[in-house]
Amino acid sequence: MNIESLTGLSSGTVRSIVAMLIPGAIALGSWLYVLALQFPALAAWADRHDTIAALAVLALSLSAGQAVNITGSWWEKIANDNRLEKRELPTLSQDWTDYLTTRFEGNVIGLGYIAGLVTALKFELNTAIGLVWFWLGVLMLWALHGALDGCQVLVCSAITLPMSVTLLWCSFGTSRVLAETRSKLLRASGPSPDA
């Protein structure tokens, strides 16, 4: 049984939800509360027009998800890939280019595994960044609106910041496994496309 048969959604749609919508909603969560406090008329309008407000929140979550995805991709390149290439996998960039230009024949199991790893990596990176954005919104609620007390901010900080750091740390391991799998898959498929 696979995700498509359970949900009726394609695996690409599910990957987008996991990699962008969920982290975007996390990033946006506290900022929606800031917005409601800053503009009470907007909050009242949202109460009266809940369907349109829900669609607006969905669109904002997707936009926030795209923004955290861009930031996550930057982190992946700067922190994860550059570190791996310098210390452990000197062919990482070339393997990535070769992977993107290789036409694999038949049902290669490794391709599905790589797609799963990419989804996990994107989720880790995007959620880590989304948690930081959420935390910044919590600081705004505390500093500008007094909606939270210092203890609540400390508890939120004690939860979100270690989670963010842990996800960034996990993303490095996922990047390593992804790079090693891609390299092994290329070696098993034969010569590089340039050969």
What lies within 8 Å, CB to CB, of 178 at 6+ separation is 114, 117, 118, 121
Q: Give CA–CA dist 134/141, Å, rounded.
A: 11
The answer on pLDDT for 149 being more than 60 is yes
* pLDDT, mean of residues 109-121: 89
Supply the pLDDT for residue 11.
Answer: 75
- Out of 44-48, 57-61, 141-145, 188-192, which region has the weakest mean confidence (pLDDT)? 188-192
Please state, in angstroms and rounded to a whole number, the distance separating the CA atoms of residues 156 and 112.
37
Q: Which helix (H) or strand (E) holds 166?
A: helix 150-189
Instruction: Please tell me the least confidently modeled range out of 3-12, 89-98, 135-144.
Output: 3-12
- For residue 3, the model assigns a pLDDT of 60
Tokens 């199991």 correspond to what residue? 109
